[in-house]
Amino acid sequence: MKITQAMVLAAGLGARLRPITNTIPKPLVPVGGKPMIDYVLDSLADAGVERAVVNVHYLADQMVEHLSRYEKIEIVISDERDGLMNSGGGLAKGLKLLDRSPVYVMNADLFWLQDETGEASNLRRLAHFFDPDSMDMALLCVPMENTTGHNGKKDFSLGEDGRLVRYSEGLPKPVVYAGAIAMHPSLLDDAPEDAFNLNIYFDRAIATGRLAGLEMAGHWMTVGTPEALDEAEDVIRRLSGGA
Write the Ramachandran bin of 209: left for phi over 0, alpha for psi from -120 to 50, otherwise beta.
Answer: left
Question: pLDDT tens digits, residue range 3-55?
Answer: 999 999 999 998 989 999 999 999 999 999 999 999 999 999 999 999 999 99
- The CB-side HSE value for 173 (13 A sphere, CA atoms) comes to 15
pLDDT at 52: 98
Query: What is the DSSP pairing of strand 156-158 with strand 174-183?
Result: antiparallel
Architecture of domain 5-239: Alpha-Beta Complex (3.90)
pTM > 0.85: yes
Which of 98, 115, 90 is closest to 178 using CA atoms? 115
Angle ∠(16,25,219) on CA atoms, nearest 5 = 70
Question: pLDDT tens digits, residue range 163-191?
Answer: 999 999 888 899 999 999 999 999 999 99
Which helix H or strand E contains 87, and what residues bound it? helix 86-95
Say whether 112 sits in a helix, a strand or coil: strand
pLDDT at 119: 55
Task: Give percent above pLDDT 70 in the chain.
Answer: 97
